[in-house]
Amino acid sequence: MPEVLPEAEPLSVDGGPVGCLVIHGFTGNPSSMRLIAEAMADAGHSVEMPRLPGHGTTVEDMNTTSWADWSAEVEAAYQRLAGRCEHVVAMGLSMGGTLTAWIGAEHPDIAGLVLINAAAERSDEMRAGLQAMLDAGETYMDGIGSDVADPDVTESAYAKVPLAPLVSMLDAVADLQDRLAGITAPALIMTSPEDHVVAPTASDHLAQTLGGPVERVTLERSYHVATIDHDRDLIIERIRDFVRRVSSGSEGGTGPGA
């Protein structure tokens, strides 16, 4: 088992009857979501922040994993929360946002979803380009991590991107499209207008497609990894308020799904 990087460890907190499922992004690790997870724990909530398989160790380790591994880990974390909480709210950054939408489709009774610069828009052209690289014998490309406006902050992410796992993520995004309209849980969509990894149009797509009530927040001062960027305090404040409202039933949130 490869050694886990500093601050990349998962977090599990037994708190109150509201559970927060906190999900990091592709090639990143829990360090990018730790401020949010700790804030939710400080608010008295139960927390599960898994380290997705292959993340927070080595890129070679990640290259042995795929969407099936990551989604299984998220499902297991959801079940841990659902087993001890009255309400569950999922929240994720980038691919963590994709997984957040996926868990919302899997469990229609989830109380709420927080999608931060979520990768949720289908891209057949990118998929074809990556497949061509794989067919040519390539395994990795340059990394996409640490897209942060704050010059004093660096994301702990891999310097390279493993191509096969990325293809599996794009396939999952494509498969998710027909399920988005059936997701009726309240959603808080947070978007950085200047994002060099995921186009802001992905958030527009979610807002137009999800079947439940949508609230939007613009992160004017942050790039893609907004959770550790200039708007991190705003993000925590808005999530804290959103969790309170959906878990109280004021926005239609209900108990954990089966």
Catalytic residue list: 94, 195, 224
Amino acid found at 100: T
Distance from C-alpha of 145 to C-alpha of 155, rounded to nearest angstrom: 7
- For 143, residues 6+ apart whose C-beta sits below 8 A from its C-beta are 27, 157, 158, 159, 160, 161
Q: Are 131 and 117 in contact (CB under 8 A)?
A: no
Phi/psi for 101 (5° steps) reads -65, -40
Distance from C-alpha of 37 to C-alpha of 40, rounded to nearest angstrom: 5
Q: Are 59 and 140 in contact (CB under 8 A)?
A: yes
Characterize 20-39 residue by residue with b for buried, 16 or more Cβ atoms within 10 angstroms of its Cβ, and e for exposed: bbbbbbbbbbbbbbbebbbb
Distance from C-alpha of 147 to C-alpha of 34, rounded to nearest angstrom: 17
Dihedral through CA 144, CA 156, CA 205, CA 188, nearest 10?
Answer: -170
State the DSSP code for 16. S
State the DSSP code for 88. E
